[in-house]
Every structure is written in C-alpha cells, then in structure tokens.
Amino acid sequence: MTDQLTDIGRRLEALRDTMEIPREIMAEKLQMSPEEYTAHEEGRKDFSFSFLYNAAELLGVDVLDLISGESPRLSRCTLIRGGNGYDIVRNKAYDYKHLAFTFRDKKAEPFLVTIERRETVPDQHAHEGQEFNYILSGAVRFFLEEESYDLYPGDSVYFNSGFSHALQTIGDEPVKLLAIVMK
C-alpha cells in the first residue's frame, strides 16, 4: 500500500459520501463486489486506470481530482516539458505521467506510460470512450477481449475502450507508449 493509493481511496470515499452514494451501489456500477470496492477506498487494492476513469465519471469529477486532489485550472493551454507530467504511481510495473494535468474540461486524457518487463498476462479492464496507444519504444502484446496484436515502435492502435483490454510486454526492455483516453 502506498501513500498515493491511500490518498486516492480517501478522496474516493469523500466524494462518494458527499454524493450520498452507498458503497454497494458504487461497487455495482463499477461491476465489482462491495468488498473489492471497499479495498479500493481503504487503499488496500491497486487502482487500474479503468477503475479511476469510471469512478471519476460516476462522481462527475476529472480523473485528476481523484488522483491528485486538485482540480485542473487552465482552459486555454497547458505546456508540459519533456520528462515532466503528473506522476501516477500505481505499482512497480506501470508508470504513468499525465501530460495535461492542469487543463480543465479535457475531452481526452493523454499519458506517457512506461511498462516494466513482466511475463504474466495482466487482467483486462474496460472503461467508456475510446483510446489511442502509440508505441514509442519496446514491444507489447495488446489484448482486446480474445484477440491480441503484437505492437512495435511506430505502431499504434485505436480502439473502443468499452471492450476489455490489457497490455503485456514482449522481450526484455520496458515499453514506452503514448496513451490518449477519450471520453
């Protein structure tokens, strides 16, 4: 359990309480058991991006409100210099940098994602909207339901993110990709 997971869980609980949504209803809408949902609120279970995105949609907030506790403030332009961005540390295998974290009322959520090498196939998740992934370095196997595609630097995939999907590294090096999630 990390401090960031605990903080996100507290914000999630506070927003849910403010909106007077029982845990059981929130769990049902997020298609999970009440016990699993409670583990998220208590910071005992890692968040998938799909979970955060779907929870933010249900609560009517920007996904960064849940992640950082701060609402984006700009609506004209945001500039993020190379190597920067808002760090989202979910677990040791994934590193996300949000590339538009100060922009308010976004129609898309752009991320620079680094995936460390791992051999196990990750759980598939789904969320509303569409997603675009562009591979910058490394190789990855992209799963969409029962189909899979091997992607290499310069390859991209655009898909309906309402279908379950996941990424698994191929080879020994980490994967870097640009992921843009559209509402």
pLDDT in tens, 7-51: 889 989 988 888 889 999 999 999 999 999 999 999 888 888 788
Alpha-carbon span 171 to 183, nearest angstrom: 32
103 has pLDDT over 90: no
The predicted pLDDT at position 90 comes to 62
Report which of 181, 54, 51 is spatially closest to residue 107, judged by C-alpha positions: 181
Inter-helix orientation angle 3-18/49-59, to 10°: 20
* DSSP-derived secondary structure letter, 103: B
pTM of this prediction exceeds 0.75: no
Tokens found for residue 54? 């779907």
Q: Specify the CATH superfamily of domain 3-68.
A: lambda repressor-like DNA-binding domains (1.10.260.40)
Alpha-carbon span 46 to 119, nearest angstrom: 19
More confident residue, 140 or 70: 140
Please report which confidence band the pLDDT of residue 91 belongs to, taking 50, 70 and 90 as the band edges: low
All CATH 2.60.120.10 domain ranges of the chain, comma separated, are 86-182
CATH top-level class of 86-182: mainly beta
Residues 6+ apart with CB under 8 A from 31: none
Please identify which residue in the block is written with the tokens 């929130």.
26
Q: Average model confidence (pLDDT) for the chain?
A: 89
All CATH 1.10.260.40 domain ranges of the chain, comma separated, are 3-68
Tokens found for residue 181? 């999630």
Please report which confidence band the pLDDT of residue 92 belongs to, taking 50, 70 and 90 as the band edges: low
